[in-house]
Structure 1
Amino acid sequence: MESNELIIFISAFIEKRIPEKYLTNFQEILLVSGIFTVASELLAIIIIAIIILSFLSLLFSILFSFNIFLCVLFAFFIPPGILIGVIIIKSEKRSEKIENASPDFLRQLASMLRVGLSFENAMEDLSRYGSGPLYDEIKRAVIEIKMGREFNESIIAMVKRLKSKNLERTFKIILEARKSGGSLADIIDDISNDLRAIIMLKRERRSSVMMAVMFLVISAVIAAPFALGMTGIYSSFMTSLGKGSELVETSNIAAGAYIIIHSILASLIIGLVMYGDFKKGIKFSIPLTISAYGVFYIVSNFGSAFLNF
């Protein structure tokens, strides 16, 4: 059976077993993230990757006398973790592109309103000539309005897909201004200037906290793994002297568990420092954890050889 046939077979099995609403929601997440793959096929690829990695991890554990449970655990969580990381990163890049394009879009929208175009016609004209995720969502909203969907409902649905708090507030203000009959062009111009200032403040904040982020990365990937990796050398030394005990043997396992927890916590703190949100640090957890545990494993298992040399 070829790989494509295997993916199709597993994909069909997934579609039968998982309710359609969950697959639809997952598909929407993928589309919003810019991943244009069928949800069931992507899940099938993840399952195949887990099976292959589990087999390879078993071989690795046998050849290098490594803990089988940890190998299988890594094999099980790495493919879904990578997928989650890719979705988060692509979603953030998309949101960043949308927010960076929004001030210019709003300024153009205000200019079109001043020359006498209606809000709907101005949105339609801008959707024809703009490019990027913001304009793609505007095109979708314009098509929905033409198909008979209520204007406010289409705009609110578009804002939810954009996943930007700034644009959510922006379009809510615009919709309220349309109801009140105020000078919509002036309001949109003011919002455009405010968004531009907010974007500049975010960039300045991100650049100002890079030293703190570098300290956290060095602490998580180098300092803590190296220091705790020395416990493995100590355990080997005590065992070689015949003074091994359960405490000495379990200290290495406890140190490895601490490295994993420490890396995840460091990634969450990085998200808080850089973005003001713990959740955005999740994307750093996988590379930090793998790098930190790799340093710890090398130091604890091969550090004594380097010291003897």
Structure 2
Amino acid sequence: MSIFRPEQVDEWLEGTTIRKSLRAAHLPYSQYSFFLLMVRASLISTSIFVVLACYLFITETSFIPNFEPWINILLLFIFLIPGVILGIYTYPASIANGRKTSIDLELPYTITYMQALSTTMTLYNVIRRVYEAEDLFGEVSREFGLIVRDVEVFGDDLYSAIGNLQKVTPSHNLEDFLNDLLLLSGSGGDVTNFLSSRSAYFREAAARELDQILKTIEVMAEVYVTAFVAGPITMIIIIVAQNLGGKSELSGYIPMIIFGLIAGSLGMIYILYLMLPKIKMDITRKPIGDSEFIGIEISKDEFSRVDQKFLKEVEAKRKRYKLENLIKNPFRTFISDFNIGFGIGIVATLLVTLLYLNGNLGIWFPINTFEIFICLSVIACMIPITLAYEGRNWFVNNVEKHTPEFLRQLVDMKDIGVTLQAAIGLISNSKLGVLSQELVITTEEIKRGETTVNALVRMEERIGLVSVKRAMSLLVKASQVTDSIKDVLIIAINDFEHYLKLKKDRFNISITYVMIIYLAVGIYYYTAYSLNVSFVSSFTNFNISFDTAGNLTDMFRIGIVLALFSGLMAGQLSANSILAGFKHAILLLLGAIILFDYVIPYQIELSTEAAKAALEGTV
């Protein structure tokens, strides 16, 4: 039995936003259970703090060199107790804020879809269709799922269910839209015209939301560069200067610097993951089967025996067709499933490990062999995944670039009276990149007797992109109702071009901050070069004990961590995906290998030889 009663917890948390944040974030916790979670986490973190504090006090050790033990204990206290409690307390609000951003960006496309359906469906059926299309509308579909749940499970009427969603949704735009929708449907207004006007309004709202996202990216990039790039540079300069006076060594600070870089970078990447919407590059496919003899009852007594041999033959043919498809389209299969790239990366990493264990890597890289092994292992693991991700990125951009042109050609064909089936056949001969291949397949299916609607649905599932599915869904829904689909096609074109514009604006702005991260890491590399070649080497003629090789190794290790997480951070800023940052991490790690294993040792050797020659000349 818990020592806290739900009534007590509700009284203590009265006036807070925890309950609404939990519901807005769609977290499976009540206010009471979430409070108990905070209490348990606080007790665990407090226990860990007590154990670590006693260890530091008894052994008189310090994880930060040259600092008093009480300072170490104070930092542990701040991180483990208030830090953990604050992190858990703000977690629902962070999730809700991220969902708000996603809802605001998805809402214009949702309203456009609702507009196309509203001509032939009731309002509730339209909402249910949006709920069922979660792969197209993401968080908006999950919000509409609450309406469906209240109506079908709890027995509420539609207006009450919409009102309930208004109270808990994190998006003010969705709240305003639902409020206007309630007023309109209650007064008997034209829902289709209303949705048309609101779609244009929320497109502008989505553009404003994108501006806020870009400002968030700007702030996070500046914080990262200042705290996790400029910070280590400043510390290294101070420590090297102290080392010249014999006061401290860089190696004593390495664990603290590396731990701070890793923890801080992961924290910022996670914050960006919660706050920013992800660029949709998922390729989702679901099998589409054709059903015959629908509605005809078959006697279970007469046909109850299962032919296991027949089922095995069907399964064998499916596996054979899957293998044939893999052989015919290896690129499409490779980019559709990142697990394939991950598996290849693991094999490549094992090969690098084998080279390290048998000593070949030490022969090729005699200086800093272990550090080179770490770099090459990470690079070997990342390269296949990077190829898969960038291949998918190329595929997505190629299809999305030609989709508006395909829709425009359909509009032109409809203007001159060409049927939809004939228009698709004519357009398949156009140069529309990857889309042309899919249109050729669709045309062949129509020629073989497939209905146009089914052929288009199959095409959108083969492509598997959310953006294309939205446009095709509008086309399919319109063609099921009427042959006059010009207006719907124009809506789909405007909708798609708005999506491409927002995507391009985000890329153009975020690439600036990616370049800033590259510049910041480059400054660290230049600082390491200057300290080891120009600054430290100038003291070789003096009687000063200075571990040049040890400092170079320590700076190399910091450079490895900085290169890896700066690359991941660049991907998170540009696409809210660490997979997008793998290519940046690979380039920065290669730069670290070249600098610390070739350039700096070579320059140090030249400086040493020049100093010896100068000394011999004076003698």
**Matched residue, 1:207:** 508
* Structural mapping, 1:137-148, within 5 Å: 137-147=438-448
CA–CA separation in structure 1 for the residues paired with 2:520 and 2:324: 41
1:112–1:243: structure 2 CA closer, same or farther, 3 Å change rule? Answer: closer
* Letter aligned with residue 266 of structure 1: S
Residues 122-149 of structure 1, C-alpha deviations (whole Å, 9 max, x = no match): 2122112334111112212333444466
Gaps of 5+ in 1: 1-18
Matched, 1:162 2:463: yes
Would you say the 8 A contact 1:159–1:171 is kept in 2? yes
**Matched residue, 2:569:** 269
CA–CA separation in structure 2 for the residues paired with 1:109 and 1:171: 12
Q: Which moved more, 1:190-199 or 1:71-80?
A: 71-80
Matched, 1:93 2:359: no
* Letter aligned with residue 135 of structure 1: S
**Matched residue, 2:499:** 198
Would you say the 8 A contact 1:110–1:189 is kept in 2? yes
Larger Rg: 2
Q: CA deviation at 1:51?
A: 6.0
* Letter aligned with residue 465 of structure 2: S
**Matched residue, 1:116:** 417
Residues 29-86 of structure 1, C-alpha deviations (whole Å, 9 max, x = no match): 7433899xxxx9xx99x97998699769954522542355555565566556434333
Gaps of 5+ in 2: 1-318, 611-619
**Matched residue, 2:590:** 290
Q: CA deviation at 1:99?
A: 1.5
1:158–1:291: structure 2 CA closer, same or farther, 3 Å change rule? Answer: farther
* Letter aligned with residue 592 of structure 2: A
Higher helix share: 1
1:58–1:125: structure 2 CA closer, same or farther, 3 Å change rule? Answer: farther
Q: Superposition RMSD on alpha carbons, in Å?
A: 4.6
CA–CA separation in structure 2 for the residues paired with 1:161 and 1:253: 51
CA–CA separation in structure 2 for the residues paired with 1:196 and 1:289: 38
CA–CA separation in structure 2 for the residues paired with 1:138 and 1:279: 30
1:92–1:63: structure 2 CA closer, same or farther, 3 Å change rule? Answer: closer
Q: CA deviation at 1:269?
A: 2.8
* Letter aligned with residue 503 of structure 2: K
* Letter aligned with residue 301 of structure 1: P
CA–CA separation in structure 1 for the residues paired with 2:525 and 2:465: 37
1:164–1:256: structure 2 CA closer, same or farther, 3 Å change rule? Answer: farther
Q: CA deviation at 1:27?
A: 5.7
Q: CA deviation at 1:218?
A: 1.8
* Structural mapping, 1:1-309, within 5 Å: 30-32=330-332, 58-59=359-360, 61-62=362-363, 64-71=365-372, 78=379, 81-147=382-448, 151-181=452-482, 183-220=484-521, 222-227=522-527, 255-298=555-598, 301-302=601-602, 304-305=604-605, 308=608, 309=610
CA–CA separation in structure 2 for the residues paired with 1:305 and 1:28: 55
Q: Say how many residue pairs are matched.
A: 278
* Letter aligned with residue 190 of structure 1: I
CA–CA separation in structure 2 for the residues paired with 1:60 and 1:171: 53
* Letter aligned with residue 218 of structure 1: L
Q: CA deviation at 1:108?
A: 0.5
Identity of aligned residues (%): 19
TM-score normalised by L of structure 2: 0.37
Q: CA deviation at 1:170?
A: 0.9
Would you say the 8 A contact 2:453–2:476 is kept in 1? yes
Would you say the 8 A contact 2:367–2:597 is kept in 1? no
